[in-house]
Amino acid sequence: MHQKLMEIIAVKKQEVAELKRAMPGERSPNLPAVRDFRAAISRPGRINLISEIKFASPSAGGIRKKTDPCVIGRIYENAGASAISLLTDKQFFKGDLDYLPPLKKAVTLPVLRKDFIIDTAQVKEAFFHGADAILLIARILSQEQLTELLAAAGELGMAVLTESHDRDDLKKVLKTDADIIGINNRNLDTFHVNIKATFDLIPLVPKDKILISESGIQTKEDLSSLRHTGINAVLVGSALMSSGNISEKTREVVAAGIIEKEP
pLDDT value, residue 12: 93
Q: Quick check: is 26 in a domain?
A: no
Whole-model pTM?
0.94
Q: Quick check: is 107 in a domain?
A: yes
- Distant-in-sequence, close-in-space partners of 79: CB < 8 Å, separation ≥ 6: 51, 246, 247, 250, 251, 254
Distance between CA 162 and CA 183 in Å, rounded? 9
Q: Quick check: is 118 in a domain?
A: yes
| CATH number, domain containing residue 178 | 3.20.20.70
Taking each helix axis from N to C terminus, what angle separates 120-128 and 3-21, rounded to the nearest 10 degrees? 70
Q: Which residues of the chain have pLDDT under 70?
A: 1, 24, 260-263
Residues 108 and 76 sit within 8 Å (Cβ to Cβ): no
DSSP 187-209: -TTT--B-THHHHHHGGGS-TTS
Q: Quick check: is 89 in a domain?
A: yes
Segment 114-133, tens digit of pLDDT: 999 999 999 999 999 999 99
pLDDT value, residue 249: 95
Domain count, the chain: 1
Q: Quick check: is 23 in a domain?
A: no
Q: Quick check: is 224 in a domain?
A: yes
pLDDT value, residue 261: 56
What's the angle, vertex CA 188, arms to CA 117 and CA 89, rounded to 5?
A: 35
Task: Please give the residue range of the domain that contains residue 186.
Answer: 3-16+37-256
- Distant-in-sequence, close-in-space partners of 117: CB < 8 Å, separation ≥ 6: 123, 126, 134, 135, 136, 137, 149
pLDDT value, residue 124: 94
pLDDT value, residue 72: 97
> What phi, psi does 155 have (nearest 5°)?
-65, -25
3-class SS shares of the chain: helix, strand, coil, % to 5: 40, 20, 40
Q: Quick check: is 31 in a domain?
A: no
Q: Quick check: is 236 in a domain?
A: yes
